[in-house]
Amino acid sequence: MVKKNNRISLIVQEGTLKNMFPDGVTKRFREESLTWTCSVTPSPLSSVYTLKLEYIRNKGVKVYVLDPKPLLLATGKKHLPHVYSTPEQRLCLYYPNRIEWNIRMLFTRTIIPWACEWLCHYELWVCTGIWHGGGIHHETEAEKQANKEKEKTNEASSSKK
């Protein structure tokens, strides 16, 4: 039977990251936190970007574009599309409802491919000024708060043994 809380150990997350990206650098502190930094080329003709993944237990996962910084913007735009913060270059890769992503999933099968895909669509956005990658708009501040609470509760409950 499948266990309800089969949270993936950070050791496994780290192993699969190293396996998929031998050149990436990982740093893990027990089961508490994991970071991964790696250069990627999101499409054959694309430029090279440095991504950083940061996971802290109970605080979720964050993905940043470290380099280049700042990222070039599309003509006439002041902010990057689908980011939590343009200055931080922190990417919004999935809808935070725990279905698209939760800690029972491998980074290498979810967050990382999505970040590479984000970079690909980012380059196309610079070309056309239009985001072609699809997605969902941010909800209102109130909804945001509610979701945040939910996410926290979920993170806490899924990490309970």
> Residue 107 gets which letter from DSSP?
G
Q: Which of 5, 6, 41, 145 binds another protein (CB under 8 A)?
A: 41
Backbone region of residue 76 per phi and psi (left: phi > 0; alpha: psi in -120 to 50; beta: other values): left
Q: Which lies closer to another protein via its Cβ, residue 11 or residue 48?
A: 48
Q: How many residues does the chain have?
A: 161
Binding pattern for the stretch 91-120 against another protein, x by CB under 8 A and - elsewhere? -xxxxx---xx-------xx-xxxxxxxxx
Contact 96, 149 (CB under 8 A): no
Classify residue 46 by burial, with Cβ atoms within 10 Å: 0-12, 13-18, 19+: middle
Q: Least distance from C-beta 4 to another protein, angstroms?
A: 21
SS3 category, 69: coil
Amino acid at 87: P
Q: Least distance from C-beta 160 to another protein, angstroms?
A: 26
Tell me if 36 contacts another protein by CB under 8 A. Answer: no
Q: Which lies closer to another protein via its Cβ, residue 6 or residue 39?
A: 39
Chain residues in the site for another protein (CB under 8 A): 19-23, 38, 40-47, 51, 72, 77-79, 81-84, 86, 92-96, 100-101, 109-110, 112-121, 123-128, 130-138
